Amino acid sequence: MAAHDLITGQCRWMEGSGPHAEIVITSRVRLARNLAGRPFPHLLDDKGKQGVLAAVASAAGAGAVAQRYGKLTAIQVSELPALDRQILVEKHLISPQHAQPGGGKALLVNGDGSIGIMVNEEDHLRIQCLLPALQLHEAWRTATGVDDALEETLDYAFDEKHGFLTACPTNVGTGLRASVMVHLPGLVMTKQIGRVLSALSQVGLAVRGFYGEGTEAVGNLFQVSNQITLGQGEEEILGNLSAVVKQIIDQERSAREALVREARVQLADRVGRAYGTLQNAHILNSQEALALMSELRLGLDLKLVKGVDTRVLNELLVAIQPASLQGAAGREMQPFERDVHRAQVVRNRLVTIQS
Amino acid sequence: MAAHDLITGQCRWMEGSGPHAEIVITSRVRLARNLAGRPFPHLLDDKGKQGVLAAVASAAGAGAVAQRYGKLTAIQVSELPALDRQILVEKHLISPQHAQPGGGKALLVNGDGSIGIMVNEEDHLRIQCLLPALQLHEAWRTATGVDDALEETLDYAFDEKHGFLTACPTNVGTGLRASVMVHLPGLVMTKQIGRVLSALSQVGLAVRGFYGEGTEAVGNLFQVSNQITLGQGEEEILGNLSAVVKQIIDQERSAREALVREARVQLADRVGRAYGTLQNAHILNSQEALALMSELRLGLDLKLVKGVDTRVLNELLVAIQPASLQGAAGREMQPFERDVHRAQVVRNRLVTIQS
């Protein structure tokens, strides 16, 4: 698969089906790994990074990985135009850091974007599995399976006492970061979100925005992940996160039911207006679009409106982002032009025969 | 025709076609007349008012009127429930004053509501002709024709020096009040409306809201009428008003063209959002509904949206009013319930297959 297909195509996570898909958008597991006997990427020169990439690409192309997980395509991220790098970020295929300028950065990725290996990000390897809905254990099984298959060829930097060694101490140990993207409009509307988020930090979980660390929670989307990678086994980390996410799901579900029970007309009004605005606006900034899409997503779950598939909303989550908008249009655009184009993209996707 | 048909049926003025119908909603001419030798209504007891009504009904039923203008149905306004009286106001068939409690008030009206005679309002007779679009002279010809036909039977209070005598001195002389309802969103949006309205008062014209004296200009609808009834002939009054209205039309047209030329996308956005909100909201108060319908009407004229007939918007102007809403639903409603019902009525009328 060419980089171009990946940039324009759809990803597995956008399917929008699976357990608790009405609240959990994605489940992601990533493993930080480094090759033994080589400096971490920030200490490597270009040649050193190319050496890492050659080793990883060779291992990924070898029997075990390809047999079990299909062919991974290598994308030389550093050689892509900035806009294309940003599109990969918007699709959640690479981290914002991995899109920064600098040599030797690559992505090995399967056809639907559910398996990816960032090479020469902060660590030599960042193995990622990204699935729709609440599928943390499935994502974990895939990521660790890829990890095992790679290890048949690669020699990882591993310490009996500390576990996997990583460039940043916050990842030492399991090197595991598991996260879920949850949509919590009910908790936001009923003003319970502050309490829920502060409870999460007390049990060692981090909450971030739609694009990870340092980004804001727009569109009522929150990314919840484990903070601790050391001193807990992988199963324990995943078990803790899953248990907490299930509590959040219950609370969000209760909040939605309370809203329908106590303010059905007001909610239908809000959802309807959001839908009508998305279908008819000619200028939409990113923040407003995400806010309205959140209300529409809620309304669809509660059957207050119909006619839009979750997949469409997930695809739009990415399609309305600045780089994806410009990539699809084939040209750079100023912010106002993007707002106009964003509204057009949304209108075109949401045109339905009303029933 | 029964009172019931008139209350639930559509009126001629709602047709929404005719000269300058994109800016002028209605043209209205009314003539204040009193019968000679009888006290004005406010000095009459019930029996006296019944005498006036009997005389007027007899004249209206006599040859000349019926032959030329068709049968007029007599509605005993005083005997209608308050809600039905208010519906007649909302349809512009009677004045707000004529809907107040008190005996002896009647309306003689033709099948499409274009010709009406209020009996025992402030004067014994208020002959009204109400037409769609800019048809002041047509309305005048009809009103004065009815007047002439009635005069073949009735003896009017008339003074050689002062002209027709009326209960209030502001109507003495011709007894003529001509008015047009104009829709001026362009002048409002471009902030020229203040200048235009103050110029109107300087040439002796009055500007009022959608329901006449003392009502606010909502939905960018303004009623422009002559102040002076004495010292000018009917043709002069009508000619002045027509000339000024044509200037207003030109200015509104220029303002709309400027908006399209200089802010087309912003206007399309505003109009689209208004349309989407009207089609999807579940709670709409009267003021918001009128404001959104004004933007939709503008967008239809400028071809920024399509699929809604002007007639539908005119019917909705009345259908969303409190009494009409309750009349159609067959029950009284509290304000919030009306807002919910209003949104439903609007949604149902504006559901279209989008093209």
The H or E element spanning position B311 is: helix B310-319
Compute the 3-state secondary structure of chain B and give helix, strand, coil in percent, each to the nearest 5.
Answer: 50, 15, 35
Partners of residue A281 in chain B, C-beta under 8 Å:
269, 272-273, 276
* Nearest CB partner across the interface for B281, out of A272, A278, A343: A272
Tell me if A164 sits within 8 A of A33, measured CB to CB.
yes
Beta-carbon neighbour count of residue A104 at 10 Å? Answer: 20
Distance of alpha carbon A52 from alpha carbon A34, whole angstroms? 9
The H or E element spanning position B113 is: none
Distance of alpha carbon A316 from alpha carbon A16, whole angstroms? 12
Distance of alpha carbon A21 from alpha carbon A132, whole angstroms? 7
pLDDT at A14 over 90: yes
The H or E element spanning position B181 is: strand B176-183
pLDDT value of residue A170: 84
CB proximity B289 to A under 8 Å: no
Give the 3-state DSSP-derived string for chain A, with helices as H, strands as E and coil as C. Answer: CCHHHHHHCCCHHHHCCCCCCCCEEEEEEEEEECECCCCCHHHCCHHHHHHHHHHHHHHHHCHHHHHHHCCCEEECHHHCCHHHHHHHHHCCCCCCHHHCCCCCCEEEECCCCCEEEEECCCCCEEEEEEEECCCHHHHHHHHHHHHHHHHCCCCECEECCCEECCCCHHHCECCEEEEEEEECHHHHHCCCHHHHHHHHHHCCEEEEECCECCCCCCCCEEEEEECCCCCCCHHHHHHHHHHHHHHHHHHHHHHHHHHHHHHHHHHHHHHHHHHHHHHHCCCCCHHHHHHHHHHHHHHHHCCCCCCCCHHHHHHHHHHCCHHHHHHHHCCCCCHHHHHHHHHHHHHHHHCCCCC
Residues of chain B with pLDDT > 90, as a percent, come to: 82
CA nearest neighbour of B273 among B250, B251, B304, B248: B304
pLDDT at A142 over 90: yes
pLDDT band with cut points at 50, 70 and 90 for residue B229: confident
pLDDT at A316 over 50: yes
Give the chain B residue whose CA is nearest to the CA of A305. Answer: B280
CB proximity B283 to A under 8 Å: yes
Partners of residue A343 in chain B, C-beta under 8 Å:
269
Distance of alpha carbon B73 from alpha carbon B110, whole angstroms? 6
pLDDT value of residue B9: 79
pLDDT value of residue A354: 44
Q: Under an 8 A CB cutoff, do B281 and A273 touch?
A: yes
Segment B4-16 shows an average pLDDT of 83
Give the chain B residue whose CA is nearest to the CA of A351. Answer: B354
Distance of alpha carbon B69 from alpha carbon B55, whole angstroms? 18
Selected for mutation to probe chain B from A259, A273, A275, A305 (highest B CB count within 10 Å) is A273
Segment B21-33 shows an average pLDDT of 97
**Model pTM score:** 0.91
Partners of residue B343 in chain A, C-beta under 8 Å:
269
Specify burial of residue A354 (Cβ count, 10 A radius: 0-12, 13-18, 19+).
middle
pLDDT value of residue A327: 94
pLDDT band with cut points at 50, 70 and 90 for residue A26: very high
Asked: is B3-251 a CATH 3.30.590.10 domain? The reply is yes
CA nearest neighbour of B121 among B70, B159, B71, B171: B171
Distance of alpha carbon B344 from alpha carbon B347, whole angstroms? 5
Q: Under an 8 A CB cutoff, do B343 and A282 touch?
A: no
Tens of pLDDT, residues A257-271: 999 999 999 999 999
Provide the token pair at A295: 């209300």
Tell me if B151 sits within 8 A of B139, measured CB to CB.
no
pLDDT band with cut points at 50, 70 and 90 for residue A209: confident
CB proximity B68 to A under 8 Å: no
Selected for mutation to probe chain A from B267, B280, B308, B347 (highest A CB count within 10 Å) is B280
pLDDT band with cut points at 50, 70 and 90 for residue B214: low
pLDDT at A320 over 60: yes
Q: Under an 8 A CB cutoff, do A273 and B268 touch?
A: no
* Nearest CB partner across the interface for B272, out of A269, A280, A353: A280
CB proximity B351 to A under 8 Å: yes
pLDDT value of residue B212: 55
pLDDT value of residue B62: 79
CB proximity A2 to B under 8 Å: no
Segment B89-110 shows an average pLDDT of 94
Q: Under an 8 A CB cutoff, do B353 and A351 touch?
A: no
pLDDT band with cut points at 50, 70 and 90 for residue A355: very low
Partners of residue A282 in chain B, C-beta under 8 Å:
265-266, 268-269, 272
Q: Under an 8 A CB cutoff, do B280 and A266 touch?
A: no
Distance of alpha carbon B48 from alpha carbon B273, whole angstroms? 55
Question: CA dist A187 to A194, A241, B288, Å?
Answer: 9, 19, 29
Measured between CA atoms, how close is A320 to chain B, in angstroms?
17
pLDDT at B215 over 60: no
CB proximity A355 to B under 8 Å: no
Tens of pLDDT, residues A48-97: 999 999 999 999 987 788 899 999 999 999 999 999 999 999 999 999 99
* Nearest CB partner across the interface for B340, out of A265, A283, A340: A265
CA nearest neighbour of B88 among B78, A340, B336: B78
pLDDT band with cut points at 50, 70 and 90 for residue A216: low
Provide the token pair at B9: 């049926």
Distance of alpha carbon B130 from alpha carbon B140, whole angstroms? 9
Exposure string (b/e) for A4-21, b if CB count within 10 Å is 16 or more?
eebbeeebbbbbbebbbb
**Which of A143-147, B10-14, B168-172 bottoms out in mean pLDDT, i.e. has the lowest?**
B168-172
Measured between CA atoms, how close is B291 to chain A, in angstroms?
15
Residues within 8 A of A (CB atoms), B 236-265 only: 265
Report phi then psi at A214, rounded to 5.
Answer: 80, 5
pLDDT band with cut points at 50, 70 and 90 for residue B353: very low
CB proximity B276 to A under 8 Å: yes
pLDDT value of residue A127: 97
Q: Under an 8 A CB cutoff, do B280 and A272 touch?
A: yes
What distance, in Å, lies between the first and last C-alpha atoms of chain B?
Answer: 40
pLDDT value of residue A304: 96
Secondary structure (3-state) at B109: strand
Could you identify the residue written with the tokens 């199963």? A235
Segment B302-323 shows an average pLDDT of 95
Provide the token pair at B133: 């679009």
Q: Under an 8 A CB cutoff, do B280 and A265 touch?
A: no
Measured between CA atoms, how close is B330 to chain A, in angstroms?
21
Distance of alpha carbon B50 from alpha carbon B41, whole angstroms? 10
Tell me if B130 sits within 8 A of B118, measured CB to CB.
no
pLDDT value of residue A7: 72
Segment A234-251 shows an average pLDDT of 95
Secondary structure (3-state) at B48: helix
pLDDT value of residue B218: 85
pLDDT at B1 over 60: no
Specify burial of residue B336 (Cβ count, 10 A radius: 0-12, 13-18, 19+).
exposed
Give the chain A residue whose CA is nearest to the CA of B281. Answer: A269
More confident residue, B260 or B228: B260
pLDDT at A172 over 80: yes
pLDDT band with cut points at 50, 70 and 90 for residue A351: confident
pLDDT value of residue B2: 61
* Nearest CB partner across the interface for B273, out of A266, A281, A305: A281
pLDDT band with cut points at 50, 70 and 90 for residue A103: confident
Segment B229-246 shows an average pLDDT of 90
Angle at B132 between CA B128 and CA B133, to 5 degrees: 120
Partners of residue B263 in chain A, C-beta under 8 Å:
none
Q: State the count of interchain CB pairs (< 8 A) between A and B.
A: 62
Tell me B35's DSSP state.
Answer: B
CA nearest neighbour of B313 among B337, B335, B285, B291: B291
CB proximity A162 to B under 8 Å: no
Selected for mutation to probe chain A from B264, B270, B278, B282 (highest A CB count within 10 Å) is B282
Amino acid in position A105: K
pLDDT at A353 over 60: no
Q: Under an 8 A CB cutoff, do A272 and B265 touch?
A: no
Tell me B72's DSSP state.
Answer: P
Selected for mutation to probe chain B from A259, A260, A264, A269 (highest B CB count within 10 Å) is A269
Segment B331-349 shows an average pLDDT of 96
Provide the token pair at A37: 């006997």
Residues within 8 A of A (CB atoms), B 297-336 only: 305
Measured between CA atoms, how close is B218 to chain A, in angstroms?
22
Partners of residue A340 in chain B, C-beta under 8 Å:
265
Segment B162-172 shows an average pLDDT of 88
pLDDT at B318 over 60: yes
pLDDT at A212 over 70: no
Q: Under an 8 A CB cutoff, do A273 and B265 touch?
A: no
Tell me if B142 sits within 8 A of B149, measured CB to CB.
no
CB proximity A157 to B under 8 Å: no
Q: How do the domains of chain A map onto residue ranges?
A: 3-251, 263-349
* Nearest CB partner across the interface for A283, out of B269, B277, B278: B269
Tens of pLDDT, residues A332-349: 999 999 999 999 999 999
Q: Under an 8 A CB cutoff, do A353 and B353 touch?
A: yes
Segment B320-347 shows an average pLDDT of 96
Distance of alpha carbon B8 from alpha carbon B14, whole angstroms? 13
CB proximity A296 to B under 8 Å: no
Distance of alpha carbon A227 from alpha carbon B122, whole angstroms? 81
